[in-house]
Chains A and B, each alone.
Chain A
């Protein structure tokens, strides 16, 4: 047990000692999502009346596959960072907060993996 006061412990470090990385990652993923989401919305509008073959051909095209993978990855990264902050702000029971944040992280990684896998499966012609 430390004999230093809580203020002395916190001084110069900040109470959390972390968070800058989270803040920067949230902004950088936001920046990346500006062109990615605009491209995605326009693509969906162009594809919305297409049949199965047209959509598969569209996903099969290299640039579309690459941008789809980047979109899925960045969307889930950004969504996780945002949801984490919401939970930290509104859930004040320690074990529940940690459990929900861990669950959200697992769900985000699993859904991102599924999204990237199905795109690559079509892109590589499987």
Chain B
């Protein structure tokens, strides 16, 4: 393409690291990872509705260590994308654009996402839906 030879404006390379840039790309990364996670959702729905045998297989898979790691990565990604998504919705409504607010809401997203993931893990391995 002809545009390849044009000079470029300074891009991310000239900035020092900031939490806001990490959070921005993580929003996209978690979104992509959650899209992959929908395959697990569909697999679980098919397995759970197709009969006892397929259900037991899915139940076994999500209970293996690799299944557990995948589930907790999806859980954290979901809570992160959810919290940061709410942050995005406030920006879309024209709120939260002060530099200080960016940092406060940014660290809050991390805190809430980690706490919700931790609560989910604690619940799952203790009381967690035991019949």
Partner-B contacts on A (CB < 8 A): 27, 30-31, 33-34, 37-38, 41, 45-52, 54-56, 59, 68, 72, 75-76, 79, 82-83, 86, 92, 111, 114-115, 118-119, 121-122
Closest-by-CB residue of A relative to B35 is: A79
Chain B contact surface mostly: helix
Q: CA of A114 to CA of B31 in the docked complex: distance in angstroms?
A: 21
A sample of 19 cross-chain residue pairs with beta-carbon separation below 8 angstroms, ordered by A number, consists of A27-B92, A33-B82, A38-B82, A45-B124, A45-B129, A46-B129, A47-B129, A49-B130, A49-B131, A50-B131, A52-B56, A55-B48, A79-B31, A83-B32, A111-B42, A115-B41, A118-B50, A119-B49, A121-B49
- Please name all residues of chain A whose beta carbon is closer than 8 Å to the beta carbon of B52 when the two chains form the complex: 52
Partner-A contacts on B (CB < 8 A): 1, 28, 31-32, 34-35, 38-39, 41-42, 45-46, 48-52, 55-56, 62, 75, 78, 82, 85-86, 88-89, 92, 120, 123-124, 128-131
